[in-house]
């Protein structure tokens, strides 16, 4: 069967794919487009990540193809995988078709050369186990040994065999990501294998880092809230000792979603990573001890770790402080200056109406308030260099935040009075 939607790929992509097919044919190989892009072509979602499987020696193919097209081969491995990079068409992933044998559950697989059908048979879901042939005589033909096309039309996620999740439990998290992204359901048998795998403790067979990586990908999805709610429903948070709010998670996720919408216009994308906020939402409410366990298991890096630590140690206390101080713009600003930016959204989501207003004002205005005079200006006005300059700058910020002064002129006036007061 030819894939109708395949024709809609940009002309430049077809040029590259055809060239791949021609070179493969000349070497006596077959070349296929595989993986997520085939799925997305059929679903009709944009995806230009070119993933190519070669029935033959992919590294040899890559070297010859690169020499003819003025591109370069990167990262060749002994498993027959590499990348081709070129200015004209970006990066292409290449691999020799292969089977994978899992020596024990959760282990990295042992790899052996095989044909395209066997290569597709090692994959996670039927919708990801299809290929499109690129050789000239069969260009555009779909190879679909497991019924992926039909499962797409039925909106189903189906594994290829019952041991799929135990072989590689990260597939549970991938499945949840795809289910949320496309609005698909797990086929009945697949749902059973998934829950049996979890009940058997299969997540313990893979490293926390691999679990974290998959959760990060989920947190970067557009449909993140429904994916995270599904994560909790399937019992994955329980398995990670992270389920702090049980059935309340869905409600909290809605609040976080509103928090992100409200604060987003005032937060620079470089200061806040939305996926980190969502990641924190999964674990918000855990005690310090349980949070420490989650951190040492998942080993989240940088900002994500910082947010989890803050959520467990400071968030509750700050909520109480904010209840007292939210009317005082200066105090609130000083308090919130110490909060990680992603934590602001959590504070917003957890607060009452008045505190929420203060958090919003802080994010949009208060945190940007600075005196218009610089340190040098202050010295020029007669203040001697040293710690006093910093104190005056802080005082001017305070007065501005309190609305007592509004202009540069007011600032100069304030300093003159201060100096006068000191002379007298
Ligand atoms: N794959 C798999 N099992 C995994 C990871 C990957 O079977 N644990 C296979 C699937 O066939 C998948 C392909 O490898 O389609 C490529 O994997 P990847 O690039 O990680 O995912 P995509 O399916 O392309 O998904 P995305 O759109 O999120 O990149």
pLDDT confidence tier of residue 100, bands split at 50, 70 and 90: confident
What is the signed CA dihedral for 360, 366, 368, 369, rounded to 10 degrees?
160
pLDDT at 244 over 70: no
What 3-state DSSP class applies to 202?
helix
Alpha helices in 125-169 (DSSP H): 148-154, 164-167
What is the rounded average pLDDT of the residues 113-127? 95
Query: pLDDT tens for residues 30-83?
Result: 999 999 999 999 999 999 999 999 999 999 999 999 999 999 999 999 889 999
Tell how far the Cα of 34 is from the centroid of ligand 1, in angstroms. Answer: 9
Q: Provide, rounded to the nearest whole percent, the portion of the chain with pLDDT above 70.
A: 98
What is the rounded average pLDDT of the residues 125-138? 97
Q: Is any atom of ligand 1 closer than 6 Å to the C-beta of 171?
A: yes
Q: What is the pLDDT of residue 123?
A: 95
**Cα distance between residue 423 and residue 376, in whole Å:** 21
What is the rounded average pLDDT of the residues 20-38? 97
pLDDT at 246 over 60: no
> What are the DSSP calls for 256-282, one per residue?
HHHHHHHHGGGS-TTT--HHHHHHHHH
Q: Is any atom of ligand 1 closer than 6 Å to the C-beta of 121?
A: no
pLDDT confidence tier of residue 266, bands split at 50, 70 and 90: very high
Q: Whose C-alpha lies nearest to ligand 1, atom 14?
A: 35
Q: Whose C-alpha lies nearest to ligand 1, atom 12?
A: 35
Q: What is the pLDDT of residue 245?
A: 60
pLDDT confidence tier of residue 107, bands split at 50, 70 and 90: confident
What is the rounded average pLDDT of the residues 286-303? 93
**Cα distance between residue 368 and residue 329, in whole Å:** 12
Contact indicator for 392, 415 with CB cutoff of 8 Å: yes
What is the rounded average pLDDT of the residues 303-331? 91
Which pair of structure tokens corresponds to residue 65?
A: 């193809």
Q: Whose C-alpha lies nearest to ligand 1, atom 18?
A: 36
What is the rounded average pLDDT of the residues 156-182? 96
Phi, psi of 252 (to 5 degrees): -65, -40
Q: Is any atom of ligand 1 closer than 6 Å to the C-beta of 124?
A: yes
pTM for the model stands at 0.90
Q: What is the CA radius of gyration of the chain?
A: 28
pLDDT at 29 over 90: yes
Q: Is any atom of ligand 1 closer than 6 Å to the C-beta of 123?
A: yes
Query: pLDDT tens for residues 194-234?
Result: 999 999 999 999 999 999 999 999 999 999 999 999 998 88
Contact indicator for 67, 49 with CB cutoff of 8 Å: no
Tell how far the Cα of 125 is from the centroid of ligand 1, in angstroms. Answer: 9
Q: Is any atom of ligand 1 closer than 6 Å to the C-beta of 126?
A: no
Tell how far the Cα of 248 is from the centroid of ligand 1, in angstroms. Answer: 32
Domain covering 4-148, topology: Beta Polymerase; domain 2 (3.30.460)
Q: Provide, rounded to the nearest whole percent, the portion of the chain with pLDDT above 90.
A: 77
177 CA closest ligand 1 atom index: 28
Nearest to 218 by CA among 298, 156, 121, 158: 298
Query: pLDDT tens for residues 337-390?
Result: 999 999 999 999 999 998 999 999 999 999 999 999 999 999 988 888 889 899
Q: Is any atom of ligand 1 closer than 6 Å to the C-beta of 100?
A: no
Environment class of residue 25 by beta-carbon count within 10 Å: exposed (0-12), middle (13-18) or buried (19+)?
middle
Distances (CA, A) of 257 to 224, 251, 254: 9, 10, 5
Q: Whose C-alpha lies nearest to ligand 1, atom 27?
A: 36
Which pair of structure tokens corresponds to residue 331?
A: 């105090």
Beta bridge partner(s), residue 95? 53, 81
User: How many other C-beta atoms lie within 10 A of the C-beta of residue 284?
Assistant: 24
Which sign, positive or negative, has the C-alpha torsion 164, 165, 170, 171? positive
Q: Is any atom of ligand 1 closer than 6 Å to the C-beta of 113?
A: no
Q: What is the pLDDT of residue 207?
A: 93
């Amino acid at each position: 069967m030819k894939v109708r939607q395949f024709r809609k790929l940009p002309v430049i992509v077809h040029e590259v794919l055809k060239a791949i097919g021609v070179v493969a044919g000349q070497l006596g190989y077959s070349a296929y487009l595989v993986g997520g892009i085939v799925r997305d072509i059929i679903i009709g979602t944009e995806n230009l990540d070119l993933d190519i499987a070669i029935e033959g020696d992919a590294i040899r193919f890559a070297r010859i193809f690169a020499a003819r097209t003025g591109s370069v081969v990167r990262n060749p491995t002994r498993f027959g995988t590499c990348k081709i990079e070129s200015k004209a068409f970006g990066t292409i992933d290449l691999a020799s078709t292969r089977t994978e044998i899992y020596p024990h559950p959760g282990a990295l697989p042992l790899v052996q050369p095989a044909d395209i059908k066997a290569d597709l048979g090692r994959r996670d879901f039927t919708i990801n186990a299809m290929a499109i042939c690129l050789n000239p005589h069969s260009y555009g033909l779909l190879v679909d040994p497991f019924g992926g096309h039909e499962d797409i039309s039925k909106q189903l996620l189906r594994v290829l065999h019952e041991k799929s999740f135990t072989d590689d439990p990260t597939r549970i998290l991938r499945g949840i990501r795809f289910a949320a992204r496309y609005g698909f359901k797990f086929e009945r048998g697949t749902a059973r294998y998934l829950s049996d795998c979890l009940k058997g403790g299969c997540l313990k067979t893979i490293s926390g880092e691999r679990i974290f990586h998959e959760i990060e990908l989920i947190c970067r999805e557009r449909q993140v809230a429904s994916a995270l709610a599904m994560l909790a429903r399937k019992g994955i948070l329980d398995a990670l000792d992270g389920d702090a709010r049980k059935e309340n998670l869905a409600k909290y996720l809605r609040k976080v979603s509103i928090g992100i919408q409200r604060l987003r216009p005032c937060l620079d994308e470089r200061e806040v990573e939305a996926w980190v906020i969502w990641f924190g939402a999964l674990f918000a409410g855990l005690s310090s001890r349980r949070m420490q366990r989650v951190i040492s298991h998942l080993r989240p890096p940088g900002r994500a770790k910082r947010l989890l630590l803050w959520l467990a140690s400071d968030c509750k206390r700050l909520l109480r402080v904010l209840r007292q101080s939210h009317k005082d713009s200066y105090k609130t600003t000083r308090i919130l200056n110490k909060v990680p930016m992603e934590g602001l959204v959590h504070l917003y989501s957890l607060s009452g109406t008045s505190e929420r207003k203060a958090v919003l004002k802080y994010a949009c205005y208060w945190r940007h308030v600075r005196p218009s005079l610089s340190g040098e200006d202050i010295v020029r006005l007669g203040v001697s260099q040293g710690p006093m300059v910093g104190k005056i700058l802080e005082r001017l910020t305070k007065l501005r935040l309190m609305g007592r002064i509004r202009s540069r002129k007011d600032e100069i006036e304030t300093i003159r009075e201060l100096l006068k007061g000191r002379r007298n």
